[in-house]
Structure 1
Amino acid sequence: MPRLVWAAVAAVLVLSACLAAARLGGPEGTGRAGGPGTGAAKPAERRAPVVFFLGDSYTVGIRGIKPEGAYAAETARLLGWQVVVAGLARTGFAGSGGTGKTFTSLFNEQLSWRPTPDMVVLSGGHNDVRQPPAKVAQKARLLMETVRKRWPRTQLVLMGPLWGGDPGPKALKVRDVLREAAAEMTVPFVDPLAGRWITGNVRKGTGNADRLIRSDGTHPNPAGNLHIARRLVADLRSMRLDRPVLGRTRVTYTPPSPAVPSPGPTGGHDQAIPGDGDEPDEVVPRPKRARP
């Protein structure tokens, strides 16, 4: 065969191969000449972590503070998380505050049926100060076991009670038993009381409570929620839990912080200060009015 014919056949074969390779990209221009996919493949966009919070009114908000303005949502906003905020005011690990609910029942109702998250944060204890400490610890362990059984690959975090000022001995006792339960189950523990996130007394105008806590002496105002979120973000970053990844983040027990000494009989409060009738996390029952 003449050399010219051979050259023509070779050119046709090369052209056919190029056309075949271009067609492998699919009909939407992902591989065809001139299409948007002709360059190098774009790296997959990083998925935002999915984090569930379960807690009391500090977590879900109260009258005047919507859920999206409470510290849990503020934390997710600061860290770029996708968040589900669950829970109910007046509730705790053992305390129900007259609602008939505890954190375990709220977990089953609000969270357990959802797709697997990257991390679950259990935050509470404020409404457990009138419960036997051993019962609080037992209920907390049960809930952590329930979460782990439901989602074995999910990172779990336990956060101790939040307080509207200097804590009293009952609050510290609840914190201590929760910290011990976390240690037993090798769960990272966040300790707002040891970290002194909120100090002083709003009604005495002392500490940072004067600008961060509402007049009820218990709940944070908008600035207080943002402050709590920033403190939580700092703790999570120090534990490398700010970017949890399902099945890959494996942070366990964090060594306990030194206990905060009791402020004594003249400082702080060991239970929530009743408000003006519209504050949901009152752990002290209101006295009944005598009938005339």
Structure 2
Amino acid sequence: MSRRAKTTAAVLAAVALAAIAALLLWPRPPAPEPSGNPTATTAPTSAGSDDAPLAVFIGDSYTVGTATPISGAGFPAMLGELRGWRVENPAIAGTGYSTGRADGTCASSGCQSYIGVLPRAVDADPDILVVSGGRNDLQRAHVEEAVTTFYATVRRQLPDARLIVTSPLWDDSPTPDALLALREHVAAAAENAGAEYLDLGDLFLDRPDLIAYDDLHPNEEGLALIAERIDELLAR
């Protein structure tokens, strides 16, 4: 190879090396964001710190948060945020005070009464037990007896827990007389058990804007209103 050829080859090699070095040193663009939206999840079940009081909730679909994006967390998660509680929500849609079986326990298809859910609450060893529901009891027999039995059992099995009970709620239509009567009985039984009874009133009457697409359950704004009203009525 001639001297000129060798010189040309050396120059080309130097240029190539410089180009490679430049590519290696050039800052890389950020990785692209993953496509699509993440799967929606329910609100956290634990709002407070590890040493915060544990509140367990028993109730029906209004407590579950049915027909909303936060079904399964419901207003208990919102109330936990307001109060600084840790929260567990074993509420089951379709349940009520009235016993669905003679022994009051859960059938294979799920609990039909609050007393059937109570063992789950007792196992959690809560500092606070919140009971909110009753609208599913209007067509059930022996409702008053079931209410009395439930609260007597709660106090016997959780003698040291703070017991909080809300009045049964209705939707945006006028509250049936049967539910008004049930509210009175729940209030009496709860107070006899040493509970703090909270009369929430007719939160959703003539407020269709607070009802979900199914025309039955509170939407997220409605659930927030439940949590806010309970928080207002509770002593700190």
Q: CA deviation at 1:62?
A: 1.5
Counterpart of 2:90?
Answer: 86
* AA at the equivalent of 1:111: A
Cα distance change on mapping 1:161 and 1:148 into 2, 3 Å: same
Q: CA deviation at 1:103?
A: 0.6
TM-score when normalising by structure 2:
0.68
SS at match of 2:57: strand
Distance 1:136 1:117 in 2: 26
Task: Choose 1 or 2 for highest CA Rg.
Answer: 2
Aligned pairs for 1:171-250 within 5 A: 171-193=179-201, 196-200=202-206, 209-236=207-234, 240=235, 242=236
Cα distance change on mapping 1:153 and 1:161 into 2, 3 Å: same
1:150 has 2:154 as partner = no
* AA at the equivalent of 2:93: A
* AA at the equivalent of 1:112: V
Q: CA deviation at 1:71?
A: 1.1
* AA at the equivalent of 2:218: P
Counterpart of 1:113?
Answer: 123
Q: Say if 2:65 and 2:73, in contact at 8 Å, map to a contact too.
A: yes
TM-score when normalising by structure 1:
0.56
* AA at the equivalent of 2:57: F
| RMSD value, Cα | 2.2
Cα distance change on mapping 1:76 and 1:93 into 2, 3 Å: same
Q: CA deviation at 1:69?
A: 4.7
Q: CA deviation at 1:170?
A: 1.7
SS at match of 1:198: coil
Distance 2:92 2:130 in 1: 15
2:140 is aligned, of 128, 131, 146, to 131
* AA at the equivalent of 2:186: L
Q: Say if 1:136 and 1:177, in contact at 8 Å, map to a contact too.
A: no
Higher helix residue share: 2
* AA at the equivalent of 1:185: A
Distance 1:212 1:231 in 2: 14
Can you give the 5+ residue segments of structure 2 that lack an aligned partner in the other structure?
Answer: 1-48, 101-108
Matched residues, number: 179
Counterpart of 1:53?
Answer: 57
Q: 1:226-275: CA deviations, max 9, x gaps?
A: 11111111011xxx2x4xxxxxxxxxxxxxxxxxxxxxxxxxxxxxxxxx
* AA at the equivalent of 1:66: I
